[in-house]
Structure 1
Amino acid sequence: MTMSMRAALLGLALLSGVPAAFAQAQPPAAQPPAAQPPAARPGTLPLPVGASAQPLTLAEAEAALVERNLTVLAARRGVDVARAQRLVAGALPPAQVSVGSSVAQFSETRNGAIRGTRYLSPSNNINVGLTVLVERGSKRTLRSRFADRQIEGAEAQVLDALRTSLFQLRQAFLGALLARANLEVALGNRASLDRTEQLLRRQLRDGAIPEGDLLRFQASRLQFEIDVTSNAQAYAAGVAAVAALLAADPAAFQQGAGQLAALGINPRVTGALAPPPERPRTGTPAGPASAPTAVRTILSPVAFDVRGRFDAIPELGISREELAQGVASRADVVVAERQSAAASANRLLVEAGRSRDVTVDSSWGRSRLSQDLPDSRDRLNAINSFGLTLSVPIFTSRIVEGNIATAAAQQGQADAIARAALLQARAEFAGAWASVEQTRSLLNLYAGGALGRAEEAYRSTEQAYVAGGRTLLDVLDALRVLNATRIQANQARYAYLVALSQLEQASGVSGVAPRL
């Protein structure tokens, strides 16, 4: 076997360790697997994203969500509404003031004739009235109590909106981080395959291998290119979902992209990333073997560049019993309980309608019109009159009892909803706990030996190829198995991290979700 063939094998061997795109730039033939630098952390390696995309960690995203998420902001406005309604509920019924005046006057005789018609001005006569509603049955106190229960419910709804939005953010962020880790693997595979293909082209030029070997190798690269494009698309979609939850426009980014020399990728078209211009392949004869073997577009600019320790496997650190006790204080369960308490306060308020309210009308009138008696010796200048009227509604029993029955039924509905919310929360907790157990078991399977076995299988296949017992395509098949195992390991990590986030959402206990 020639030295150039061994160089090709060493280039392939780079795929079993750190992605070669992120290794130090050294000639492939002088960099055996044992000399690879320490493995970089998945989810933290630099990507060629847009120039305006700022790195974003999960902790930073969560902090921004509290201040910027539109669902949470809308829930906070609900608290403002409830507090404003509390001011209205605690106020006394407004009194009504009336002011009037007679505008015309005429006299009518016994025979129906009209005499003494005249028009009057407000300066000659005025009538002033005051109407006050006197509530009975402590209605004002009961209204205030009902408004207080509504404020408590609105505050709990803010916490529930925050709980739900945080889970959505964590799920979207972890999804973007999964795509990022898979994209890192795919880009590393591509860079290593590029170097191996260069070596095979050199061998073809030297006549060490037939053109068919190079063509078979190039045909086998297609799946790796599909991995690059699919993961790049998934990463862009995941970042867009995160941006939307943070009230940022996912499509508002500067055109253009950054560059990463280690990947050999530079911006070529405004708003898109592409590999550098292809150099003339002087060592490859014209024909199918000289055609491009990599896709042009790599990654579009994104709003954020999510970062995180995707290989982190956090421990739970709390027992199932402790988490189960926290379900009763979950935000949506508290919302349902407070809505039930508000329904109870509303029923008491409606029952107070059995005590009829009294309306008090008082009036004062003053007239400066001529009102003298025929035999009066002291001429009158004005006449003042005072009035007082009390009014009580009657025939209200059917209306009041109907309202009471309605309020009692609504309270029953609220009580049933509160019980159902607690049972649903406990069911979600049971499912979330089972998901944590199963995903952790699967993750332990990959961390405990599945990845190691796939890497060892690749190395043994490579050694057999060096000894002449395997073909280059056998090595590529082993590489596909190794690559699939790495992707599946990333998926297992993602499933476990999402399960932890879901367990925090289901239990209502903070601190369970992963910190990357």
Structure 2
Amino acid sequence: MIDRAIRLLAVIASCCAVIPAIGQPATGATPFNGAPTPFHRASPFAKPVIQAEPIDVSLGALTLHNTIDAGLAQNRDVQIARAALTAAKGILVNAGKRPNPMLTVGAGPGLIGRYQPRDADVLVNVSQLVERGNKRELRSEVASLAADAAQFDIEDIFRQVRLALANAYFAVKQAQDYVNLAQATRNAFARSREAAELRLKAGDIARVDLIRLRVEEGRSENELLQAHTDLAVAQVMLATLLAREQEAPSIRAVDPWPVPGDSMLQSDRIEALVDKRPDIRAAIARVHSLEAAFGLAKAQRIRDVNVAVIAERNLPANGGTTLVVQLSMPIFINNDYFGDIVRAEAELTSAQINLEKLRSNVHADVDRALAQFESARQQLMRFEAQMLPDALSASQAAEFAYKKGGIPLTDLLDARRQLYATQRELLESRKDFVNARTRLESTLIETDFRW
């Protein structure tokens, strides 16, 4: 008899687990006027995060494309973001589960003073909490939208890492060109000093001119040493982003400098591109998640029902087994969840304000990036079209005039210094242009502009 009762209880408990919610669903918050985020529930068997495989790239001939691919696969910040996304999707799996049923089994003597096992009082209780007010659906929606926000967060980290990788890559490129320029300048002064020693022996120049050339040669050697130091620092910074610090000295950037174009990004595309930014989309997803959380907090005022089925065998008292069905629900006397509702509403309001603030900041970033890009583009075009050719022409004329004895050594050294300074400023201008371009691309989430 007791075995049949337990089997009956198991059947009743399974039915309780699928009882539909009773009562009216909770009314959620007023929908926020933002971009809609589709609700989708992830399958527990779906792969939570796409784990990127390490990419083996040759650091001795590194391109920007390979740098970004390797960085996104191996950067430690990206790996941390992937782990956070996995945790968010794990919460989503549990959010849609129903509460587990409870099984209680007890036994005791049937009559006072009589302790015979066959007369024992056996009690079996199976209970199931039935949630009402769409709590499970709201809980799943909160977790799903939070997972969406975590997905957009990792995309925003990708955006930031791409920007950092591009800046670090071209910092290495600039440092390499500085080394080449400093080496060429040092070699030129060495040749001039050697020629001056021969001319001094022939009596064509004064000793003071040789001393001046030695000073300039020493200065060029110091600048070459500093250029090598700057290159080593830039290599370490890029290697850190690639998580390959031990191989930093072997890094060499081989891509050419980007060429500035003659046109700007069309302004009518800017607004559409801003809304595609992952940080904006993450903020919108969090607003919708907190809307669902607000509705869930209000749903706490809808009473859940606990359904219990009890089987009791007491041979001395009733001569067999008694079945009892029991319903219980809370009485909201001490706690009516008002505090939870107020907190959820405040968090929703804060998220809405934060979204508007973020949009304003993004528009400011776009305006600033556009202005910096246009300024850097015009400066670079002026350097390449006018200033560098003029400096080269002046330097060549000074070299020729000095060989013919038409100008003193000081004029020659001034022309060389002007050329060297112009070449360094050109490299700085190229890096400023690349940084402005990559920042603009990162700000607008666009990597294939037509410049």
TM bucket (normalised to shorter chain) is 0.7 to 0.9
**Counterpart selection for 1:330 from 271, 277, 288:** 277
- Residues 68-114 of structure 1, C-alpha deviation per residue, up to 9 Å, x if partnerless? 12222222222222221111111111111112222x5773xxxxxxx
Structure 2 unpaired stretches of 5+: 1-57
2:387 and 2:422 in contact (8 A); partners too: yes
**Counterpart selection for 2:377 from 436, 440, 444:** 440
Q: Report the counterpart of residue 74 of structure 1 in structure 2.
A: 80
Q: Report the counterpart of residue 15 of structure 2 in structure 1.
A: none
State the distance in 1 between where 2:260 and 2:222 align. Answer: 29
- Return closer, same or farther for 1:303/1:383 CA change in 2, 3 Å cut-off: farther
Instruction: Give TM-score scaled by structure 1 length.
Output: 0.71
Q: Report the counterpart of residue 256 of structure 1 in structure 2.
A: none
- Give the secondary-structure state (helix, strand or coil) at the position aligned to 1:468: coil
Higher-Rg structure is 1
Matching residue's letter, 2:92: R
- In the TM superposition, what is the alpha-carbon distance from 1:144 to its structure 2 partner? 1.3
State the distance in 2 between where 1:200 and 1:478 align. Answer: 18
1:169 and 1:242 in contact (8 A); partners too: yes
Q: Report the counterpart of residue 447 of structure 2 in structure 1.
A: 510
1:503 and 1:512 in contact (8 A); partners too: no
1:318 aligns to 2:250 (yes or no): no
Q: Report the counterpart of residue 12 of structure 1 in structure 2.
A: none
- Residues 467-499 of structure 1, C-alpha deviation per residue, up to 9 Å, x if partnerless? 323222321221011000000011111101100
Alignment of 1:64-213 (within 5 A): 64-102=70-108, 107=112, 116=113, 118=115, 124-205=120-201, 208-213=204-209
- Residues 95-143 of structure 1, C-alpha deviation per residue, up to 9 Å, x if partnerless? 11112222x5773xxxxxxxx364x659944321111111111111111
State the distance in 1 between where 2:403 and 2:194 align. Answer: 19
State the distance in 2 between where 1:314 and 1:244 align. Answer: 32
2:189 and 2:213 in contact (8 A); partners too: no
- Give the secondary-structure state (helix, strand or coil) at the position aligned to 1:302: helix
Which deviates the most, 410-419 or 305-314? 305-314
State the distance in 2 between where 1:513 and 1:222 align. Answer: 46
**Counterpart selection for 2:291 from 344, 364, 371:** 344
1:500 aligns to 2:437 (yes or no): yes
State the distance in 2 between where 1:201 and 1:335 align. Answer: 70
State the distance in 1 between where 2:369 and 2:140 align. Answer: 40
- Return closer, same or farther for 1:61/1:435 CA change in 2, 3 Å cut-off: same
Aligned residues: 394
State the distance in 1 between where 2:167 and 2:179 align. Answer: 18
Q: Report the counterpart of residue 386 of structure 2 in structure 1.
A: 449
- Give the secondary-structure state (helix, strand or coil) at the position aligned to 2:330: coil
1:324 and 1:507 in contact (8 A); partners too: no
Higher helix share: 2
Q: Report the counterpart of residue 297 of structure 1 in structure 2.
A: none
Which deviates the most, 233-242 or 312-321? 312-321
- Return closer, same or farther for 1:333/1:179 CA change in 2, 3 Å cut-off: same
Q: Report the counterpart of residue 339 of structure 2 in structure 1.
A: 402
State the distance in 2 between where 1:122 and 1:146 align. Answer: 53
1:214 aligns to 2:220 (yes or no): no
- In the TM superposition, what is the alpha-carbon distance from 1:212 to its structure 2 partner? 3.5
Q: Report the counterpart of residue 349 of structure 2 in structure 1.
A: 412
- Residues 335-363 of structure 1, C-alpha deviation per residue, up to 9 Å, x if partnerless? 11111111111111111112111112222
Matching residue's letter, 1:364: A
2:311 and 2:322 in contact (8 A); partners too: yes
Matching residue's letter, 1:75: A
RMSD over aligned CA atoms reads 2.5
Instruction: Give TM-score scaled by structure 2 length.
Output: 0.81
- In the TM superposition, what is the alpha-carbon distance from 1:314 to its structure 2 partner? 5.2
- In the TM superposition, what is the alpha-carbon distance from 1:510 to its structure 2 partner? 2.8
State the distance in 1 between where 2:163 and 2:148 align. Answer: 23
State the distance in 1 between where 2:231 and 2:361 align. Answer: 33
1:466 aligns to 2:410 (yes or no): no
Which deviates the most, 459-468 or 93-102? 459-468
Alignment of 1:275-314 (within 5 A): 302-310=249-257, 312-313=259-260
- Return closer, same or farther for 1:499/1:136 CA change in 2, 3 Å cut-off: same
Identity of aligned residues (%): 25
**Counterpart selection for 2:69 from 63, 73, 77:** 63
Q: Report the counterpart of residue 48 of structure 2 in structure 1.
A: none
1:340 and 1:415 in contact (8 A); partners too: yes
